[in-house]
C-alpha cells in the first residue's frame, strides 16, 4: 500500500541533481504548507542519492513560505559519503524563488548503539489517545487542512490557554491513513503539533518557522507517537521552541529545536 505522505512528498528526477514535485494543500496550516511537510519533500532527493536510509540530523532554513498546489523544483547533492554517515545539501524553489535550504546527515539506525545510552527526559504520563482532545477542537484561530492527514490528540490539560497558562504542548500524533512512523516522519511530527505559545497567549494563528533542526536517535516502534513541545524564549516577535518525540513503547526517538516568528494579528489575516 502506498500512503499519502509518501505520495505527496514524492520527487521525480528531471536532470542530474534536479527533481520536481507537486506540493498539495492537504498539509496546509492556513494558506501555507506545513514546514515539516516541506522539509520531508526536500529530503526525498537526498534519499534517492544516499546509500544510508535514515535522516539522523536535519537543519532547514525557511527563506520564504511554500506555495500549495504548485510545482516545486528541487536540487540535491552529496557533500561527503562516509561509511557511517552521508552529508548532503538540498533546496526547494517555486516559481523561480528559493523557499527552503536543507543540510542533512543520513545514517543507518538499525543497529544497537555501541556505548549504551543516556536519557534524561522520559515520556510524560499521558491519557490514552481516545481520552485526549483532537487538534480540530483547538481554538488556534486558523484553518488546519493538515488534520485530514495526521490524527493529532492533545492532552486535555493542555488543550486551551485558559487551563494551561504556560507555553507547552503535549499530545499524541499518527498518520490518518494508517502509515506507521519512521525516521523521515520525525521531521513532519516535529513541526505538526499546535504552537506551544498557544497555551500562554491563546489564538496565535500561523506561526512561521525560520529554522528547524531535528535529531533522530533511533527508528520508532509502530503506533502512536507522543510529543512534548515547549517555547522557552519569546523576544521581539521571535521564539525558540524545543521538542521531544517518543514512540509507542516510550522510547525517545527524536528531538527538535526551532526558531519561529509570532506574527501580529494584522499579518495573520
Q: What is the CATH number of the domain that holds 240?
A: 2.40.160.210
Return the bridge partners of 21, or none. 72
Encode pLDDT of 2-14 as tens digits: 999 999 999 999 9
Find out whether 226 and 193 touch, Cβ atoms under 8 Å: no
The answer to the question of residue 120 being in a domain is no
Q: Domain residues for 94?
A: 4-109+128-268
Measured between alpha carbons, how far is 250 from 231 in angstroms, rounded to an integer?
23
What global pTM score does this model have?
0.92
Encode pLDDT of 65-103 as tens digits: 999 999 999 999 999 999 999 999 999 999 999 999 999
Find out whether 12 and 19 touch, Cβ atoms under 8 Å: yes
Q: Is the pLDDT reported for residue 153 higher than 90?
A: yes
The answer to the question of residue 117 being in a domain is no
Find out whether 76 and 219 touch, Cβ atoms under 8 Å: no
Return the bridge partners of 245, or none. 227, 254
pLDDT band at 214 (very low <50, low <70, confident <90, very high): very high
The predicted pLDDT at position 138 comes to 54
Q: What's the grid cell of residue 157?
A: 490539560
The answer to the question of residue 182 being in a domain is yes
The answer to the question of residue 150 being in a domain is yes
The answer to the question of residue 165 being in a domain is yes
Q: What's the grid cell of residue 64?
A: 520564504
| Overall domain count for the chain | 1
The answer to the question of residue 93 being in a domain is yes
Sole residue written with cell 531535528: 214
Amino acid at each position: 500500500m502506498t500512503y499519502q505522505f509518501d505520495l505527496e512528498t514524492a520527487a521525480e528526477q528531471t536532470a542530474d541533481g534536479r527533481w520536481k514535485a507537486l506540493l498539495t494543500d492537504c498539509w496546509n496550516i492556513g494558506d501555507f504548507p506545513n514546514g515539516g511537510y516541506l522539509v520531508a519533500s526536500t529530503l526525498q532527493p537526498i534519499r534517492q542519492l544516499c546509500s544510508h536510509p535514515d535522516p539522523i540530523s536535519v537543519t532547514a532554513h525557511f527563506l520564504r513560505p511554500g506555495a500549495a498546489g504548485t510545482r516545486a523544483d528541487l536540487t540535491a547533492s552529496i557533500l561527503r559519503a562516509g561509511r557511517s554517515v552521508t552529508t548532503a545539501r538540498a533546496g526547494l524553489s517555486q516559481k523561480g524563488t528559493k523557499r527552503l535550504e536543507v543540510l542533512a546527515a543520513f545514517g543507518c539506525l538499525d543497529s544497537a548503539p555501541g556505548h549504551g545510552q543516556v536519557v534524561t527526559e522520559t515520556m510524560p504520563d499521558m491519557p490514552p489517545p481516545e481520552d485526549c482532545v483532537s487538534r480540530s477542537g483547538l481554538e488556534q484561530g486558523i484553518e488546519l487542512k493538515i488534520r485530514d492527514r495526521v490524527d493529532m490528540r492533545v492532552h486535555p490539560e493542555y488543550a486551551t490557554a485558559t487551563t494551561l497558562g504556560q507555553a507547552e504542548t503535549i499530545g499524541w500524533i499518527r498518520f490518518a491513513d494508517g502509515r506507521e512512523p519512521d525516521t523521515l516522519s520525525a521531521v513532519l511530527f516535529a513541526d505538526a503539533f499546535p504552537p506551544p505559545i498557544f497555551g500562554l497567549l491563546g489564538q496565535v494563528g500561523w506561526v512561521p518557522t525560520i529554522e528547524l533542526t531535528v535529531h533522530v536517535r533511533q527508528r520508532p516502534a509502530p503506533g502512536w507517537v507522543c510529543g512534548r513541545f515547549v517555547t522557552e524564549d519569546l523576544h521581539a516577535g521571535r521564539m525558540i521552541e524545543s521538542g521531544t518525540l517518543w514512540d509507542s513503547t516510550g522510547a525517545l526517538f527524536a528531538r527538535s529545536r526551532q526558531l519561529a516568528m509570532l506574527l501580529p494579528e494584522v499579518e495573520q489575516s
